[in-house]
Amino acid sequence: MALITVRFYSLWRSYLGTDSSALQADDIQDALSQLETEFGPRLREKLETAGVHLDGKIQDYSLILLNGISLRNIKSTALKEGDVLHIFPPAIGG
Amino acid sequence: MKGNAADTDIRQRIAQSAESHVGPGGTAHLVISLKTTASIASSQAVSAREVEIAALKHGIIPCRYLRNIGTIGLNGQIRLLQSTAAVVGAGGLGSTVIELLARQGIGHLIIIDDDRFAEDNLNRQIMSTEENLGQYKVMAAVRRVREINSATNVKTFRERLTRDNARSLLAGARVVIDGLDNLSSRIAVEQICRQLAIPYVYASIGGFNGQIMAIFPEDPGLSSLYGSSSDAMPEQGIETRIGNPPATVALIAALQVQEAVKIITGVGTPIRNQVLMVDARECAVDRIELSS
């Protein structure tokens, strides 16, 4: 079990009303699961209020980095004390 | 420049025409006006850019760059005038980037875009007007640059940048600036820039938010954000739901230009191996350190 920090950016920060949260997790899946439980419903409710309907969990429509590396590039699911998850929606317009 | 005798003539004309200008802080500079620059260029059959570079090399500032010099110095302005910046995409981010680079005094601009203006571009694409809807964006861009700065040489390509044409389209570019609106094109441009060893100033926006980073060929770049595999990469983002408002576009494009200026002039530190997250709604700016 490791104590990690989750940092929210962009629209997620605005809609969740916080820029970070701390949680104890066994591994990445556990962290994402806790994140979904604690923040998922609130985020989707805010999005719905803004007229944005998104299906699925936070992780399905977010970019997530662990210590500055995309989760898509990370093979080990282990977490260590002090790890930081960065979470934000993809913004790809120009 | 021309031969030695002609160079001497140009230098003499510049020196004779220079005027003292006292700035608001009381600092005096020798300057030459736009009109004088044009006159020397015409009489000596050289470009306005060459006259400006010759003046700057002798400590005489083209008046139009007077308010640039305090940040980048004479040498920085010379480097800009001698450099080429390529802008891939002349839409929201790209058109503001083009406008600002022309005002900053870039010597050569390469503009690549195959699209025409549509009505839903009017909110943020600075070169779109009610009059030019339906026209190619590169046409408006080249007109605008000529209106702003006759010293900036512009090459336009009304096509998409691909691996096949990249080497010829980007020839001579010191920096490539992102004016794109989708991820797959950005990843392709990043790969091309790596192959050609050109720094790439990435940016993207959605709603009140934008992100930017300078990606040098050896940097991990977009894979840190989006992963290395193209599987499950988002093609579009939150902007499809919450839009691209004009102020966010202008804000992020301005930061892109500042990165390009830093890369070209060597003044300041480009934002490498970090992504700058700008949140205009919450007035928050964060840096996320990236790893590979």
Closest residue in chain A to residue B281, using alpha carbons only: A14
Strands (E) in A15-88, as ranges, are: 20-25, 63-66, 69-70, 84-88
Of B2-6, B55-59, B189-193, minimum mean pLDDT range? B2-6
Q: Which residues pair with A69 in a beta bridge?
A: A66
What does pTM read for this prediction?
Answer: 0.95
Instruction: Tell the burial category of A54 from Cβ atoms under 10 Å away from its Cβ (0-12, 13-18, 19+).
Output: middle
pLDDT at B67: 95
pLDDT digits (tens, 9 = 90+) for B98-129: 999 999 999 999 999 999 999 999 999 999 99
The amino acid at B29 = H
pLDDT digits (tens, 9 = 90+) for B176-189: 999 999 999 999 99
pLDDT at B111: 98
Question: What's the mean pLDDT in A24-34?
Answer: 96
User: CB under 8 Å to B291, separation ≥6 — which residues?
Assistant: A67, A68, A69, B220, B224, B273
> Which run of H or E residues covers position A34?
helix A28-49
pLDDT at A83: 97
pLDDT bin (cut points 50, 70, 90) of residue B288 is: very high
Radius of gyration over alpha carbons of chain A, in Å? 13
In this complex, the residue of A50, A70, A89 whose CB is nearest that of residue B225 is A70
Q: How far apart are CA A17 and CA A7, in angstroms?
A: 12
B254 touches A: beta carbon within 8 Å: no
Query: Average pLDDT of chain B?
Result: 95
Dihedral class, residue B67 (left if φ above 0, else alpha if ψ from -120 to 50, else beta): alpha
Chain-chain contact of B206 with A9 (C-beta, under 8 angstroms):
no
In this complex, the residue of B224, B235, B236 whose CB is nearest that of residue A69 is B224
Q: How far apart are CA A62 and CA A5, in angstroms?
A: 17
Checking if the pLDDT of A76 tops 70, the result is yes
pLDDT at B1: 59
pLDDT at A68: 96
Helices (H), chain B: 4-17, 34-44, 48-57, 69-82, 92-104, 137-148, 166-169, 183-196, 222-226, 239-242, 246-265
User: Beta strand B60-62 with A69-70: parallel, antiparallel or unpaired?
Assistant: unpaired
Question: What's the mean pLDDT in B130-145?
Answer: 98
pLDDT at B34: 97
**Per-residue tokens: A43:** 């985020």
In this complex, the residue of A9, A14, A92 whose CB is nearest that of residue B237 is A92
Checking if the pLDDT of B4 tops 80, the result is no
Q: How far apart are CA B20 and CA B140, in angstroms?
A: 36
Give the minimum alpha-carbon distance from B220 to chain A in angstroms, rounded to a whole number: 10
- Of chain A, the end-to-end C-alpha distance in Å amounts to 41
pLDDT at B230: 73
- Of chain B, the end-to-end C-alpha distance in Å amounts to 45
Q: How far apart are CA B217 and CA B199, in angstroms?
A: 6
Classified as helix, coil or strand, B83 is: coil
Query: Average pLDDT of chain A?
Result: 94
Of A24-38, A57-71, B193-207, B230-244, minimum mean pLDDT range? B230-244
- C-alpha dihedral (B164, B168, B169, B174), degrees to nearest 10: 120
- Residue B135 DSSP one-character state: S
pLDDT at A54: 84
pLDDT at A90: 94
pLDDT digits (tens, 9 = 90+) for B216-240: 999 999 999 999 887 767 777 888 8
Checking if the pLDDT of B2 tops 70, the result is no
